[in-house]
Structure 1
């Protein structure tokens, strides 16, 4: 079980390792590049000392780094500009890069993904394309169409339960994703009624997700379609609730509710 970057985005990566150790997470994810201009990120690929410190901290920990984020495929995407990001992820032992698709030119977006997947493979990473209903990759079918045009071992589709629920994705669509393209999934719950306005979808996704089992998403059905033992990342930003109870109790609650949905024993 992983502690996603967005769940504790105000926490520097080296401190995030300690949170994961204390609260029952096996892995962490870190945000090297901002999801939107001006938002929080930790550009360790530009800070050799901080990168080395984190690598040493991970070497001494039972917690591993699973994914780095986020590379966005826009109209002006140039894979060479991300070489240092991929190299940093590989040095830290990451397995996956979270990828978002923004380019509305599907042919160009598909070509950009193929170039990125090739570069990821060179670094021992997978390029996990996440479908999000407000982006140019709005659902699982679109993600599969794009990823299928790339070659090599880095092809990957990232399933986020919130985006499954908010998009046109069906359980059959999830079942149609080749198993070898699934490297991890993101888990959270969401409010009902579901928002239909894209701006509200984005706000809830970034600020107001719910612990597993406390919303209206059919999480058990989604999990049942995914490969057994697939790594799970708990991506669950909700600052009002986190501040109300404190970070430690909040993370304990997220682990307990996630394990309850996954059918795994709770050990805190």
Structure 2
């Protein structure tokens, strides 16, 4: 029997980075998504900032659109933990997140000092309790915390959770040229599924970019439509719990310019639906195989 457990489907802000949150809500609704992710602070100096602090006009407009469409905000982003004093920053982000109804704040680790990083994430997790927001640590292939295993170890010790991003999941190489790193990623995905509140889907070629600069460019602006590349996305989804939210995080400057915002969102929704259907088929086949081996 194919699993029919509904998975909430989301549209990540990075898929339409230059689309302001009120409009992003409307586009997500028209394309058939259930929720969006929102950047409540810019990550790079060139990004357009969105003021979503309590009392701001943009927050009011976003909440109005959410009320009209039924689309919710599940996750906010993005804070790069670099070892500096960032508590006031994440508290402001959590204020915006609580106003939007979000329950997670995505972070990544640029701090090479593991003890300091863990102290800061633990403090963030403690602060988040009063906002109803949990930090979610994303393993980034070109940052110090690059693997599911590293992120899960930190999560278990600090009280945060982890986000699985299929780009970085596939780009992690364990620091070597053999396949041991990727094999370990698959082992860790299953072992730490309980820590995962969200999986972000995108696709890409099997060939890994040759250096850090190319990894960054791919990550921020050149990802592939789910199901149109070489990543085994259905297997990733099938390895995670029923009903786990799935978000399309597919930045592609050229495709957004070519198709327009709404058509791009609709293309991503159709692609995610196809991946989920394939994942359900995989899970059903695995269930039948286990039953036959009893």
Same structural fold, with TM-score higher than 0.5 when normalized by the shorter chain: yes
| CA 1:176–1:15: 2 relative to 1, 3 Å | same
Deviation at 1:230, TM superposition (A): 0.6
Instruction: Please give the residue correspondences for 1:37-52 in structure 2 after superposition, counting only pairs within 5 Å.
Output: 37-45=45-53, 48-52=56-60
Q: Does 1:8 align with 2:50?
A: no
Q: What is the aligned partner in structure 2 of residue 165 from structure 1? A: 170
How far the C-alpha of 1:47 sits from its partner, in A, is 6.1
Distance 2:259 2:23 in 1: 19
Note if 1:220 corresponds to 2:234: yes
- From 146, 154, 161, the counterpart of 1:156: 161
- Choose between structure 1 and 2 for higher RCO, CA contacts under 8 A separated by at least 6 residues: 2
Q: State whether residues 190 and 216 of structure 1, in contact with CA within 8 Å, keep that contact through their aligned partners in structure 2.
A: yes
Output the CA distance in 2 between the equivalents of 1:194 and 1:238.
Answer: 18
Are the counterparts in 1 of residues 50 and 58 from structure 2 also a CA contact under 8 Å?
A: no
Deviation at 1:86, TM superposition (A): 0.3
Would you say 1:88 and 2:93 are equivalent positions?
A: no
Of 94, 103, 107 in structure 1, the residue corresponding to residue 115 of structure 2 is: 107
Helix, strand or coil: the match of 2:37? strand
The residue aligned with 2:205 is 191
- Contact 1:99-1:127 at 8 Å conserved across structures: yes
Runs of 5+ consecutive residues of structure 1 not aligned to the other structure = none
Whether the 8 Å contact between 1:184 and 1:233 is mirrored in structure 2 is: yes
Residues 193 and 241, structure 2, Cα contact 8 Å, conserved in 1? no
- 8 Å contact kept, 1:79–1:119: no
**Aligned partners of 2:254 and 2:57: how far apart in 1?**
33
1:176 and 2:191 aligned: yes
Secondary structure in 1 matching 2:237: helix
Alignment of 1:127-142 (within 5 A): 127-142=135-150
**Quick one: which of 19, 25, 28 aligns to 2:36?**
28
Deviates more, 1:1-10 or 1:83-92: 83-92
Aligned residues of 1:96 and 1:126 also touching (Cα < 8 A): yes
CA drift of 1:81 comes to 3.3
Q: Does structure 1 conserve the Cα–Cα contact (< 8 Å) formed by 2:51 and 2:59?
A: no
Once the two structures are superposed, what CA deviation does each residue of 1:118-141 show, in whole Å capped at 9, x if it has no partner?
Answer: 111221112110000111211111
| Root mean square deviation, CA, Å | 1.6
Equivalent residues of 1:98, 1:129 under 8 A apart: yes
Structure 2 alignment gaps of length 5 or more: 1-8, 173-180, 279-294
Give 3-state SS (helix, strand or coil) of 1:77's partner: coil
Equivalent pair of 2:110/2:145 in contact (CA under 8 Å):
yes
The Cα of 1:41 is off from its aligned counterpart by 3.1
TM-score (normalised: structure 1): 0.92
Relative to the length of structure 2, the TM-score reads: 0.84
